[in-house]
């Protein structure tokens, strides 16, 4: 009977030890170790915007299509810009002819300086200078006309994926207004939002493991940077540009979340990164730091 009681007591004690170990492990993981489930796959979004306006004559890409830098995306009607280029070319040629004639006249006046009065010679020289300036202006107008014609073809500024593409031939694009977006795939990264109490445990260069929600496999990366500031919701600017501090103060203070940028080092085969995906991020302590006394804020 004593042996049975001892077995039950030992089993209970063993279960308590296991439960305590699990609680400690969970506490260390979620309260001490720098981890967060509040992470996102992020990327820079490029707004593809035409520099000139006009009707869309052709669209060479589709929504969600991967494109390379320099690849043609769409073409705007070129008729008006071709006419402007021809007009600028004709204006330049006219200025060149006038300048050539003025130079010949000026040279002749100087050659016959004994027979031509000084005022005529000075006017001839001045005319050459004015026509040189006019020709330079005509050359700049020609270059601008050529640039506008070149800008009728929209090309991908970066490697990326086309997003929000709904354009069709016949649509009208306005200069300076966004046509669609391009997800810059070269800037794909992980943004982890860590509570401020865990920031002291994170260093630039620390290795990180990233797990996407519902996706098997671990993405490896490293800490690239830590945000330098976040919005202070307790202060605002009043009309006289003075800080307007909220007078209320709550006893329970919630830890703020600080963005930490994780550069991606390795993505397992078969995992597709999509900007906006939910991710969990775990910062791995460097060798020897697991037992090192860090400046924990409690």
Q: In the predicted model, what is the mean pLDDT of residues 259-277?
A: 94
Q: What is the pLDDT of residue 251?
A: 65
204: confidence class by pLDDT, cuts 50, 70, 90 = very high
Of the chain, the percentage scoring pLDDT greater than 90 comes to 58
Among 87-96, 174-183, 232-241, which is the least confidently predicted range? 232-241
Is the pLDDT score of 138 beyond 70?
Answer: yes
Among 1-15, 41-55, 86-100, 177-191, which is the least confidently predicted range? 1-15
Residues 274-285 as b or e (16 or more Cβ within 10 Å = b): ebebebbbbbbb
Is the pLDDT score of 89 beyond 60?
Answer: yes
What is 46-184's CATH topology?
OB fold (Dihydrolipoamide Acetyltransferase, E2P) (2.40.50)
Q: What is the pLDDT of residue 291?
A: 45
Q: Which has the higher per-residue pLDDT, 155 or 122?
A: 155
Q: How many whole angstroms separate alpha carbon 199 and alpha carbon 52? A: 47
Is the pLDDT score of 239 beyond 80?
Answer: no
Q: In the predicted model, what is the mean pLDDT of residues 100-104?
A: 88
31: confidence class by pLDDT, cuts 50, 70, 90 = low
Q: Which has the higher per-residue pLDDT, 109 or 184?
A: 184
Structure tokens at 250: 């709550």
pTM of the model as a whole: 0.74
Among 11-20, 58-67, 166-175, which is the least confidently predicted range? 11-20
Average pLDDT taken over every residue of the chain? 86
Q: How many whole angstroms separate alpha carbon 59 and alpha carbon 1? A: 87
> What's phi and psi for 199, nearest 5 deg?
-60, -40
Q: Kindly list the domain boundaries of the chain, sorted by start residue.
A: 46-184
Q: What is the pLDDT of residue 124?
A: 83
Chain-centre distance of CA 152, in angstroms?
Answer: 24
Is the pLDDT score of 152 beyond 80?
Answer: yes
Q: What is the pLDDT of residue 259?
A: 94
Among 28-37, 115-124, 283-292, which is the least confidently predicted range? 283-292
DSSP the chain: -HHHHHHHHHHHHHHHHHHHHHHHHHHIIIIIS-EEEEEEEE--EEEE--SS-EEEEEE---TT-EE-TT-EEEEE--HHHHHHHHHHHHHHHHHHHHHHHHHHHHHHHHHTTTTS-HHHHHHHHHHHHHHHHHHHHHHHHHHHHHHHHHTTEEE-SSSEEEES----TT-EE-TTS--EEEEEGGG-EEEEEEEGGGGGG--TT-EEEEEETT--S-EEEEEEEE-S----TTEEE-TTS-EEE-----SS-PPPEEEEEEEEEE--TT----TT-EEEEEEPPPTT-SSS------
Among 52-66, 213-227, 252-266, which is the least confidently predicted range? 252-266
Q: What is the pLDDT of residue 108?
A: 80
Beta-sheet pairing, 207-212 with 189-195: unpaired
179: confidence class by pLDDT, cuts 50, 70, 90 = very high
Which residues are bridge partners to 210 per DSSP?
219, 281
Sheet with 66-67: strands ordered across:
45-48, 180-184, 160-163, 66-67
293: confidence class by pLDDT, cuts 50, 70, 90 = very low
Q: Which has the higher per-residue pLDDT, 234 or 96?
A: 96
Asked if residues 206 and 284 have their Cβ atoms less than 8 Å apart, the reply is: yes
Q: What is the pLDDT of residue 121?
A: 76
Is the pLDDT score of 298 beyond 50?
Answer: no
Is the pLDDT score of 201 beyond 80?
Answer: yes
Q: What is the pLDDT of residue 34?
A: 87
């Amino acid at each position: 009977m004593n042996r049975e009681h001892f077995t039950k007591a030992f089993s209970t004690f063993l279960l308590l030890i296991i439960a305590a170990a699990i609680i400690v492990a969970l506490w260390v993981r979620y309260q001490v170790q720098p981890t967060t489930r509040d992470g996102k796959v992020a990327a820079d979004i490029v707004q593809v915007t035409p520099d000139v306006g006009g009707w869309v004559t052709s669209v060479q890409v589709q929504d969600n299509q991967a494109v390379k830098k320099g690849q043609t995306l769409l073409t705007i009607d070129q008729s008006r810009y071709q006419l402007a280029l021809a007009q600028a070319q004709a204006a330049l040629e006219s200025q060149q002819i006038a300048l050539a004639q003025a130079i010949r006249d000026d040279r002749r006046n100087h050659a016959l300086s004994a027979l031509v009065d000084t005022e005529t010679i000075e006017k001839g020289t001045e005319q050459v200078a004015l026509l040189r300036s006019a020709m330079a202006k005509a050359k700049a107008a020609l270059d601008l006309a050529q640039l506008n014609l070149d800008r009728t073809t929209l090309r991908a500024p970066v490697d990326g994926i086309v997003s929000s593409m709904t354009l069709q031939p016949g649509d009208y694009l306005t200069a300076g207004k966004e046509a669609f977006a391009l997800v810059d795939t070269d800037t794909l990264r992980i943004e982890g939002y860590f509570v401020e109490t865990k920031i002291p445990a994170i260093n630039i260069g620390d290795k990180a493991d990233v797990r996407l929600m519902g996706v098997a496999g671990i993405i490896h990366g490293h800490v690239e940077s830590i945000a330098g500031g976040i919005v202070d919701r307790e202060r605002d600017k009043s009309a006289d540009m003075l800080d307007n501090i909220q007078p209320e103060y709550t006893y329970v203070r919630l830890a703020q979340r600080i963005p930490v940028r994780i550069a991606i080092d390795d993505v397992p085969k078969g995992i597709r990164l999509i900007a906006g995906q939910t991710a969990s991020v775990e910062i791995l302590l460097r060798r020897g730091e697991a037992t090192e006394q860090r400046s924990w804020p409690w």
